[in-house]
Amino acid sequence: MRILSIETSCDETAISIIEAIGDFPTATYQILGNALFSQIEIHKEFGGVFPMVAKREHAKTLVPMLEQAFTEAELLENNPTELDHNENKEITSFLEREEGLAQSLLDFLHTHELSEIDLIAVTSGPGLEPALWVGISFAKALAVILKCPVVPVNHMEGHILAALYNVVEDNTLASIAFPAIALLISGGHTELVLMKGWAQYEKIGETRDDAVGEAFDKVARLMGLSYPGGPEIGRRASEARTAGLPLYKDKLPRPMIGTDDCDFSFSGLKTAVRYAIDNRKMTEDEKNALARDFEEAVTEVLLKKTTKAIDNFDAQTLIIGGGVSANIFIRRSFETELLRTHPDVEIYLPHRNLSTDNSIMIALAGHAEMANGRTGGALTLLKADGNRSL
């Protein structure tokens, strides 16, 4: 089965074409084409992502990404696509709210023909609703052209499957032991999810305020670093470790570390950082030290709550997904700590290229949804759901 996948939930515009050989979860997934445009440089100017700016950029970038993915996959012909009057009308009406997108798609189709796709998988949530809608509308228009069904995918399921996808060796999903715990840490979410089997998700803990990635980004902003701050905090923290810098000030708090649940809270930690900075102009060393102190506080809380979840449910497997799983210190800390305290628990982390948002993970989740018989119904009923939950 050939899957075309689309991701536009935040600030990455991504389209992939994946060939799934076999059935979920034992299929082999060949990446035929993969195009991704990060809007980070555009959002840097504003210090964060404004949904309407993201939406406009997705609308501008989707057709170039489509062309790149199909070209890589060698599934693009230089013939005009033949569309009848009704198809033309449907495409235009699905894209009527997405500025310029209907015209750029129709222009592209005047000279190009796309072929041989069996399923379209598109992120329907969670995420920024205006941004999600662009991807959904585009998926509907492509379904008219490619004459195939569309399956709406949960972005967080994508992050889970990305962690299990072995893109280096055999292009399959790991065959994991259940129950499994998934720790999802991204810009918008921080959750612990219990999986008793494939595609069975039960949220057992979440943040009560800021998500981990959001906390990284806000703390970076307090230190005067540019958006998104997560990677920069990680870089500076590791410099502080190499240089053996002392604590920036007092030890930072570990919010909710001792509570008897699997929930998190990070806004108090961010406030503690704000007080520690106290509007002072910081030296580079001080910024590095504070970045490290913050990273350590976050990691300790994540570790504590995740091992509690593993113990509570006697989990055999730990999966870590979401953009913050790109953080080297968090990755290493989980690997070494878990090996020490839970040597029987197998840990899965995404390949670093698949940690942050991408459309490969959306294709994997689309295949999983199909296996569960959840192909989307009528195109007109497909909707974005910014708060979609696992």
- Judged by the rule CB under 6 A, the positions of this chain that interact with ligand KG4 are 10, 186-188, 213, 216-217, 228-231, 234, 322-324, 326-327, 356-357
**Which segments within the chain are labelled E, that is strand?**
2-7, 12-21, 28-38, 76-77, 113-114, 119-125, 150-154, 180-185, 190-197, 200-206, 317-321, 346-348
Looking at the Cβ atoms of 2 and 189, the one nearer to ligand KG4 is 189
Looking at the Cβ atoms of 66 and 302, the one nearer to ligand KG4 is 302
The nearest distance, CB 36 to ligand KG4, in angstroms, is 11
The nearest distance, CB 28 to ligand KG4, in angstroms, is 25
Name the region of 373 (left: φ>0; alpha: ψ -120 to 50; beta: rest). Answer: left
Task: Select the binding partner of residue 313 from ligand KG4, Zn ion, none (C-beta < 5 to 8 A, by kind).
Answer: none
Task: Select the binding partner of residue 179 from Zn ion, ligand KG4, none (C-beta < 5 to 8 A, by kind).
Answer: none
The nearest distance, CB 225 to ligand KG4, in angstroms, is 10
Looking at the Cβ atoms of 105 and 384, the one nearer to ligand KG4 is 384
The nearest distance, CB 86 to ligand KG4, in angstroms, is 37
Identify the sign of the CA torsion 161, 167, 173, 179: negative
Q: What is the dihedral of CA 289, 295, 296, 301, to 10 degrees?
A: 150
Task: Select the binding partner of residue 365 from Zn ion, ligand KG4, none (C-beta < 5 to 8 A, by kind).
Answer: none
The nearest distance, CB 356 to Zn ion, in angstroms, is 7
The nearest distance, CB 37 to Zn ion, in angstroms, is 15
Q: Which residues of this protein are in contact with Zn ion, per CB under 5 A?
A: 186, 357
Looking at the Cβ atoms of 35 and 163, the one nearer to Zn ion is 163
Side chain identity at 252, as an amino acid letter? L
Task: Select the binding partner of residue 39 from ligand KG4, Zn ion, none (C-beta < 5 to 8 A, by kind).
Answer: none
Burial class (CB in 10 A: 0-12, 13-18, 19+), 74: exposed
The nearest distance, CB 360 to ligand KG4, in angstroms, is 13
Looking at the Cβ atoms of 179 and 321, the one nearer to ligand KG4 is 321
Task: Select the binding partner of residue 327 from ligand KG4, Zn ion, none (C-beta < 5 to 8 A, by kind).
Answer: ligand KG4
The DSSP annotation for 78-116 comes to SSPPP--HHHHHHHHHHTTTSTTHHHHHHHHHHH-EE--
The DSSP annotation for 354-383 comes to GTSS-SHHHHHHHHHHHHTT-----GGG--
Query: Which residue has the closest beta carbon to ligand KG4?
Result: 323
Side chain identity at 313, as an amino acid letter? F
Task: Select the binding partner of residue 326 from ligand KG4, Zn ion, none (C-beta < 5 to 8 A, by kind).
Answer: ligand KG4
Task: Select the binding partner of residue 158 from Zn ion, ligand KG4, none (C-beta < 5 to 8 A, by kind).
Answer: none
For residue 19, which phi and psi values (nearest 5 degrees)? -100, 120
- Extract the tokens encoding 357: 């948002």
Looking at the Cβ atoms of 130 and 187, the one nearer to ligand KG4 is 187
The nearest distance, CB 375 to ligand KG4, in angstroms, is 24
Measured CA to CA, the distance from residue 22 to residue 245 in angstroms comes to 52
Looking at the Cβ atoms of 154 and 186, the one nearer to Zn ion is 186
Q: Which residues contact 76 (CB under 8 A, 6 or more apart)?
A: 67, 70, 112, 113, 114, 115
Edge-to-edge strand list for the sheet holding 119-125: 28-38, 12-21, 2-7, 119-125, 150-154
Task: Select the binding partner of residue 369 from Zn ion, ligand KG4, none (C-beta < 5 to 8 A, by kind).
Answer: none
